[in-house]
């Protein structure tokens, strides 16, 4: 059974940083791509970043240059380093895993999801 558990969310002032973690069990990061998504109240879930088993990465324009995705295969953990946070980054953040190597930002491409961790950025 695949399980993804996010942590690291919290409240921070604009300009601050947070690092999200997603511990994965029952799934190997070498099997498929992994990604981070976020969903703000009243909005659709949106892709932020993905990383393939070959370490190829993809970022949404809104976070390029500010967020960095990485994976520690030894720890079965996916990370999202978030710097220069803005109030518009406030959302529930989810990690996801795919059964393919496709690295995209469409939620439909991912089979497994965590429960989410809340990030709140105040101005």
CA angle at 3 for the pair 62 and 94, rounded to the nearest 5°: 15
Q: Token match 């969310």: residue?
A: 9
Beta-carbon contacts of 42 under 8 Å, excluding residues fewer than 6 positions away, are none
Query: How far is Cα 105 from Cα 33, in angstroms, rounded to an integer?
Result: 11
Q: How many whole angstroms separate alpha carbon 123 and alpha carbon 104? A: 31
Tell me the per-residue pLDDT of 60-102, one tens digit each, with 9 for 90 and over.
999 999 999 999 989 999 999 999 999 999 999 999 999 889 8
d(CA 23, CA 25): 7
**H/E element, 10:** strand 10-13
Could you read off the pLDDT of 14-59 as tens digits, one per residue? 999 999 999 999 887 667 999 999 999 999 999 999 999 999 999 9
């Amino acid at each position: 059974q695949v399980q993804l558990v996010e942590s690291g969310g919290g409240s921070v002032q604009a300009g601050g940083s947070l690092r999200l973690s997603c511990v994965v069990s029952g799934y190997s990061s070498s099997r498929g791509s992994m990604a981070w998504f976020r969903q703000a109240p009243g909005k659709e879930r949106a892709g932020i970043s993905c990383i393939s088993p070959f370490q190829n990465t993809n970022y949404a324009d809104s976070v390029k240059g500010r967020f960095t995705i990485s994976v520690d295969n030894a720890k079965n953990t996916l990370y999202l380093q978030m710097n220069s946070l803005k109030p518009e980054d406030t959302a529930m953040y989810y990690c996801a895993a795919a059964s393919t190597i496709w690295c995209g930002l469409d939620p439909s491409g991912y089979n497994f999801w965590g429960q989410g961790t809340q990030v709140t950025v105040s101005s």
